[in-house]
Chain A
Amino acid sequence: MTELTAIDLAALSGPSQRVLLRRRVLAHKGLIIGATLLALIVVLALLAPFIAPEDPYAQDLARRLIPPAWYDKGSWVHLFGTDNLGRDYLSRIIYGARISLLIGVSVMAISGVIGTSLGLTAGYYGGRTDMAVTFLIAMRLALPLILFALAVVAVIGGSLPVVVLVLGLLKWDRFAVVTRAATQQVRALEYVAAAECTGASNLRIIFSEILPNISPQLFVVATIEAASAILLEAALSFLGLGVQPPVPSWGLMIAEAKNYMFFSFWLIALPGTALAVLVLAINMVGDGIRDVTAPGGRN
């Protein structure tokens, strides 16, 4: 008897939320394309030692500035050619994906923890706590990001961990703004009141009622922040105040190739395109998540 009721209910309520979500994901072309591209880049980065034809640091001045294979003077030995120090450019581009992805993920994690905690606290407790956090956010937004990051990195000395830390500690504002607004909305809903009635502690309500329900918005912010962190690191490294040579950071590679770009344009075109494709893939995933998780599915 009980079994029958369960089956009846399932038949009445139609496909489950999970099934609906899967259908929306599969129907969203942008999300599928973006996710595939991103997965491809992640695999390239993870398997770089096996995929890259050469050591990205190995110099050979006898073979400097060889053009890519599709140029007249190019050769298939170096698909993307070589740079001004005779390093295999394809290998450097592949290893460069590691730097960008590492920056994106770690900056996103640091700024995500800071911003989400601030936003949750402000949105949940309200009142003076909210005023203090709002003030902090206003202060952070007033600080010119690129300029200040450049200055701090210059004083400390540029390196990968320094860039990650400085960007992570500076870029929490969007997480805080979105989390705060989303928490305020969810806080007013009945299931939070119900949890309060059952005597759940504040922390329990925050972590098991509010956080899971605002996570779609957080995922979207996470993609935006990862993409913007990757572009910022590229800009810092391009200006010589980020990751230091000979690390194959795409931004740094463009800076190193700047003097040769008039005759060897591929030296800036390849890392520049790599950056654009990675950021594009992340943005497509972000836009896709927003579309499929928004109420009603939007599309």
Chain B
Amino acid sequence: MLAYTLKRIGLAALVAIAVSAVAFLLLRASGDVAVALAGEGASAESVEAIRQAYGLDRPLLAQYFEWMGKTLRGDFGESLYFKTDVLALVADKMPTTAWLALFSLVFALAISLPLGILAALYPNSLVDRLCLALAVLGQALPNFFFALVLIMVFAVGLQLLPVSGSESWENFVLPSGALGYYVAPPFMRLIRAGMIEVLASDYIRTARAKGLSGASIVLKHALRNALVPVVALAAVQLGLLLGGSVVIETVFALDGLGYLAYQSISHLDLPVTQAIVTLLSFIYVGLTLAADLVNAWLDPRIRMG
């Protein structure tokens, strides 16, 4: 287990470093940032002044190593648009997005666990069809459109919840619903498929033969094993959630990392954008690493490779 863990951590670190470099270089190589920053119709002198002020005139690799060196010391530079320290800015918005991600994941599991289990217990029943319809619809609806519909129904129509803002817990309900439903369909399908497979296995038949009650079999024996692949999916979906927060937080003007990302991208605030892209990729690498280690711990076949 130790050898596997070390190997996996080393690989994750390599991926993280490589991604940060690629993201930095691609973002700067994709256009002339100085011209974009100066805006339309700017004189050649002012473009040149911006280029020098932000060190954009130096070779890309030199810029990267300087950025990486500072980043490793915890210095993410200053925001071009907000004129404050990037790290402080990101740290300030992080909790909002963390809560949103948590609520969304809880919401996604709260609808997909019971529906997935019921659909597996009664294949081709009404519940199964409802579950399939919900999953299919969730995959087809654009999440920002669904968010706007939620606003129209619950905020404008029924006046139960606020349209936008981030002051109280009520502001999190609709965004979590929109984001949670966006990531729920794969959970529904995986839980249903996993339960059907496990329920047909020999040890469930043994449990039934021992005379255990239906509920005990489903919840204690079957669900536990059907949940193993769900752990890995949760890591991937959490990454998707964090990316999707850009769209959903912008729709609801929820003042988190995603909204900050949108604002900094629209103002070409590269230090902030770079910091958020790097942070989210590190979080993703960390999550998948954790999921791999948990799975290896649960299933010896993986770590023996």
Contacts and interface: CB of A to CB of B under 8 A. Distances in A.
Interface in A140-158: 141-148, 150-152, 154-157
A139 interface: yes
B273 A135 contact: no
B164 to A, nearest CB: 12
Given A147-B261, A155-B27, A155-B36, A142 B145 contact: no
A121 interface: no
A227 to B, nearest CB: 8
Contacts, number: 129
B162 to A, nearest CB: 14
A220 interface: no
B246 A142 contact: no
A143 B139 contact: no
Contacts of A235: 142-144, 247
Interface stretch (A9-17, A89-97, A276-284): A276-284
Given A156-B30, A231-B142, A142 B15 contact: yes
B139 A283 contact: yes
Contacts of B137: 276, 280
B142 A234 contact: yes
Contact of A239 (B26, B149, B262): B262
Nearest to A152: B30
Interface stretch (A72-80, A109-117, A188-196, A261-269): A261-269
Interface string B250-288: 100000000001100110100001001100110011001
B187 to A, nearest CB: 17
A151 B273 contact: yes
A150 B27 contact: no
Contact of A238 (B30, B144, B242, B244): B144
Interface residues of B, number: 47
A152 B148 contact: no
A241 B280 CA distance: 20
Given A144-B277, A155-B33, A254-B144, A241 B247 contact: no
A275 interface: yes
A144 B36 CA distance: 23
A241 B246 contact: no
B77 interface: no
A69 interface: no
Contact of B15 (A138, A148, A150, A272): A138
Interface string B58-87: 000000000000000000000000000000
Interface string B131-146: 0000011011111110
B142 A276 contact: yes
A49 to B, nearest CB: 27
Contact of A143 (B23, B142, B261): B23
Given A151-B27, A234-B142, A235-B142, A241 B244 contact: no
B280 A147 contact: yes
A235 B147 CA distance: 12
5 contacts: A135-B18, A147-B261, A148-B27, A148-B277, A276-B137
Given A238-B247, A272-B141, A272-B149, 16 more contacts: A135-B18, A139-B15, A143-B19, A144-B284, A147-B243, A150-B246, A151-B27, A154-B36, A154-B265, A154-B268, A157-B36, A227-B139, A241-B266, A279-B140, A280-B136, A280-B140
Interface of A: 135, 138-139, 141-148, 150-152, 154-157, 227, 231, 234-235, 238-241, 251, 254, 258, 261-262, 265, 268-269, 272, 275-277, 279-280, 283-284
Interface of B: 11, 14-16, 18-19, 22-23, 26-27, 30-31, 33, 36, 136-137, 139-145, 148-149, 152, 156, 239, 242-244, 246-247, 250, 261-262, 265-266, 268, 273, 276-277, 280-281, 284-285, 288
